[in-house]
Amino acid sequence: MAKKPLFPGQLDDENVIIYERRYWFTILEWIRLPFLFLLISSVVAWVVTTLLGPTSVLSLVFYGLVIMAIAWLVWQALNWENDRYIVTDKRVIHIEKVFLTLEKRDEAPLTMIQDVFVEMKGLMTHLLYFGNVTIHTAGTLGTIRFQGIRKPRKAQAQILALASQVQAAIPMEETPGVQAVREILGWPKPEPKPLPPTAEELHWESEKRRREQLSEVIKMMFFPKPVFGENQIIWRKHWWVLLNEMASPLLVFVILLILWAAVSLRFGVNFRFDLLFGISLVAISLWITWLVTDWWNDLYVITDDRAIDIEKMPFVREERREADLDKIQDVRYLQEGFIALRLDFGNVRLETAGGIEAFTFDSVPHPREVQIEIFRRIDRFHREIERQLQEARQYEFLDLLGRYHQRVQGNSGTEP
């Protein structure tokens, strides 16, 4: 018996990898306004009914408003539930429905994916682990957005891994004829290209329940885990950027220190003032710690096969964008200002295809060296792709000779 498709238009040989709807917590945002309208209209209707009676015209008007609020709330709940976000081994799909009025479907093949962007805003997105995934494509569609889905970082890793698998030239399993011809010609067997890790292979994506790994969850809310490969290079913003951001708390500290010293010299030891000064020092220390953590969490990573841009502010925001190196069209850098030139830092911009917003490695040290390293990785990646294409062409040639070899052997075996 044929398996029932999970969505309209699913192909017979198409496997569904991700099938999601919006995370349950996001419904609170969808029904917030109708619920508030329902609450206010209900309270006003009750007050008017108490004062004027249930049959008054004003009471009937507010009863109507209550019914409208209920209908609005139900409408929003139905619209929230309707959307589907799907990733298969062939394409990504967003099915959007508005109850009784609209159905829209955006999809793109995996081969058209340029980069994938993850955004997590607010404390609850980190505690419950949900967020937005934006898939940039090279087609006219531009972007496909998965809004408010669970485990967005895992979904990003899975989409990129699937896209790499589709686009990689993976040699097919060789027949005995092909193996025989390869031995005759003395050609070595091609080495399969290691694929990027799937979501299940990423050790920072534990499958345990959130409450069972609370300490790890809290740690990841402070610091990202940029583990993408053995040959990765990680850049952070130049130390001058951190020093510039710390100017305000340091200035406040100096002013408070001068004020405390002046008061102590003029009036002697004052417990209340010393306590206030101590509390201020704790607040400034927390402020500086926050700035240092925020600076430390902005990471720019290059690996053997992809570029990663991570912008993270603890508890507040995390943005993670990744793209394969073969999607990068050009790399440029800009050093602007006397300080940037003297201390040698600047912005490196990585452009991808399709007019999509570029990657930006902001204020990284030695931007010229960063640009050279990125180009070196891109060149190595392209040479690896060319090697795989040559192996694929070699396999096609061997396959043809292998079929001929098997046929000759078959014919010689049937001769009397």
What are the residues facing 333 on neighbouring strands?
348
| Total count of domains within the chain | 2
Contact yes or no for 224/297 (Cβ under 8 A): yes
Instruction: Assign 120 to helix, strand or coil.
Output: strand
Can you give the pLDDT at residue 199? 46
Q: In terms of domains, do 154 and 21 share one?
A: yes
What does the pLDDT look like over 134-147, one tens digit per residue?
998 876 667 899 99
pTM of the prediction?
0.74
Residue 77 within any structural domain of the chain: yes
% of the chain residues with pLDDT over 90: 25
**Surface-to-core class of residue 51, CB atoms within 10 Å of its CB (0-12 exposed, 13-18 middle, 19+ buried):** exposed
Residue 97 within any structural domain of the chain: yes
Residue 230 within any structural domain of the chain: no
Can you give the pLDDT at residue 177? 57
Residue 329 within any structural domain of the chain: no
What CATH number is given to the structural domain containing 113? 2.30.29
Residue 398, pLDDT above cutoff 60: yes
What does the pLDDT look like over 46-80, one tens digit per residue?
888 888 877 788 888 888 888 999 999 999 888 88
Q: Token digits for 348?
A: 């490196």
In whole angstroms, what is the distance from residue 232 CA to residue 333 CA?
20
Starting at the edge strand that comes first in sequence, how are the strands of the sheet with 299-302 ordered?
A: 143-150, 130-137, 113-121, 317-324, 306-313, 299-302, 233-235
Q: What is the DSSP letter of 410?
A: H
Helix, strand, coil % over all residues of the chain, rounded to 5: 55, 25, 25
Identity at 349, one-letter amino acid code: R
The stretches of 307-366 forming alpha helices (DSSP H) are 338-343
Q: Between residues 337 and 263, which one has the greater pLDDT?
A: 337
Contact yes or no for 210/217 (Cβ under 8 A): yes
Can you give the pLDDT at residue 212? 58
Q: What is the DSSP letter of 259?
A: H
**CA-CA distances (angstroms) from residue 392 to 252, 358, 378, 389?**
65, 32, 21, 5
Residue 28, pLDDT above cutoff 60: yes
Q: Average pLDDT for residues 279-299, to the nearest whole number?
A: 90
Q: In terms of domains, do 18 and 142 share one?
A: yes
In whole angstroms, what is the distance from residue 237 CA to residue 18 CA?
35
Residue 302 within any structural domain of the chain: no
Choose among 191, 194, 192, 190: nearest CA to 396: 190
Q: In terms of domains, do 144 and 252 share one?
A: no
What does the pLDDT look like over 106-119, one tens digit per residue?
888 888 888 889 99
Looking at 294, 310, 333, which one is the last position of a domain? 294
Residue 70 within any structural domain of the chain: yes
Pairing mode, if any, of strands 113-121 and 317-324? Answer: antiparallel
Starting at the edge strand that comes first in sequence, how are the strands of the sheet with 91-98 ordered?
A: 16-20, 84-88, 91-98, 102-109
- The region of weakest confidence among 35-44, 253-262, 364-373 is 253-262
Contact yes or no for 7/84 (Cβ under 8 A): yes
**Surface-to-core class of residue 89, CB atoms within 10 Å of its CB (0-12 exposed, 13-18 middle, 19+ buried):** middle
Q: In terms of domains, do 133 and 274 share one?
A: no
Pairing mode, if any, of strands 91-98 and 84-88? Answer: antiparallel
Residue 150 domain boundaries: 13-166
